[in-house]
Amino acid sequence: MNNNKRNPGALAALTGAALALPAIAQLAQAAEMPTKTEIGYRYSDYQEDDVDADKVLVGSTERYDINTHQFKLVAPLGERTSLTVDAMYETMTGASAMSVVQTPQGESMLIMTGASIKEERTDVSAELRRYDNAGSKAVAFGYSTEDDYEAINGSLDMERDSADGVTTWSGGLGFSYDELEPVQEPGINRVTSEDRWFINGYVARAKVHSPVWQTQVGLYLGLYDGYLDDPYRSRDIRPDSRQQVAISARSRYFLTGIKAALHADYRYYSDDWGVAAHTLELAWHQTITTGLRVSPRIRYYSQSQADFYVEADSGTRDGDQSSDYRLSPYGAIAYGLGLGYYQPNYSLLLYVEQYDSDADYALKSVSTANPFLVDYTLMTVGMDYRF
């Protein structure tokens, strides 16, 4: 007989055998499915730092402030089905960059939209999830609308546990169809109506390595097709499609002695526009006393520029070009802190995050920083209630 003492799957093997018994499978499944109705609310205050006045040639220095209300409902529908409804309502004020121009001295300067805009965004989605003995399947639809924008999206998701319970496969397919009708301003020649498709899929494999450690690796593919330019930039010409690939790895490790969960998430991203990015996030979830948890985290991000990124706009250049900072080379560091108070019937939550981006944070050195790189502060408060 094999000596299975060192086998971390011993528990999984036993549980797998037990789950073959209908009575135990029934209860296990009921445990996985939400048995209570839960409602959640989050309010987020997002504030971008103003742009340096000496980088703005024309227009406002004030960047976006966004207030967001999120609502969530999770409810069991009968024995094997759950319904999740998410709604989000945001109001935005602030100005955005129209153009980056080069001064005769070789300095990159911004032309901002003149007045502070005010916009609203509403996003609603619903998911039906069906549970069976070894996983679940879900279908979801969503609708999102803004002053100049309308989108529908849908997705199919599934999750499968292996018979021994050690590995879980999950995967999904999603689509989104977006219509843009940019706000028109006198004297500016903008497109009037454009659209784009987005389809994406992922597959992931999670594995339990020990009673305190589990990991997940995933592959993601995304494909945009249609109008991908920024209609509010004075000169912004991008390819009509964008193919994305990302691989991700996540780890969750529990330190039993001090009751802390250590999270490490890494993602490598690459697309056919030439953008490649590394994202690493580490979080420490420390239980202080029963029901009270504090979670500091740090996130590092670095990307390379798109092939057609330009440091400054030029009305005479041909071909694909954009001075959008999102396509520029840079890096970003975010520090966050979460605080949660958890009781059987309710939870109270508080999160803060400070996000700073800088060309100097990029993995590779950058010669000219985009002047519009964003820094922001995010604060979220929320509560969940279960009944």
Residue with smaller CB distance to another protein, 62 or 107: 62
Q: Which of 220, 199, 222, 201 is nearest to 158 (CA)?
A: 201
Q: Residue 11 carries which DSSP code?
A: H
Residues 55-114 that bind another protein (CB under 8 A): 68, 70, 72, 86, 88
Residue with smaller CB distance to another protein, 107 or 181: 181
Half-sphere exposure of 303 (CA within 13 A, CB side): 24
Using CB under 8 A, which of the segments 34-42, 51-59, 102-110, 359-367 binds another protein? 34-42
Angle between helices 22-32 and 10-19 (to 10 degrees): 110
Residues 182-241 that bind another protein (CB under 8 A): 198-200, 202, 204, 206, 208, 210-212, 214, 216, 218, 220, 222, 230-233
If you search the block for the tokens 């209570």, which residue do you land on?
A: 36
CA–CA gap between residue 266 and residue 283 (Å, rounded):
12
157 forms bridges with which residues in the sheet? 138, 172
Using CB under 8 A, which of the segments 102-110, 184-192, 287-295, 363-371 binds another protein? 287-295
Nearest distance, CB of residue 152 and another protein, angstroms: 8
CA distances from 22 to 19, 28, 133, 200 (A): 7, 10, 9, 37
Q: Which of 108, 303, 323, 370 binds another protein (CB under 8 A)?
A: 303
Q: Which of 10, 77, 115, 191 binds another protein (CB under 8 A)?
A: 10
Residue with smaller CB distance to another protein, 123 or 313: 123
The secondary element (H helix, E strand) that includes residue 124 is: strand 117-132
Residue with smaller CB distance to another protein, 155 or 323: 155
Residue with smaller CB distance to another protein, 200 or 321: 200
Nearest distance, CB of residue 124 and another protein, angstroms: 11
| By CB under 8 A, residue 148 contacts another protein | yes
Nearest distance, CB of residue 105 and another protein, angstroms: 28
| By CB under 8 A, residue 254 contacts another protein | yes
Q: Which of 240, 250, 180 is nearest to 219 (CA)?
A: 250
Tokens of 284: 């420490």
At 264, the amino acid letter reads A
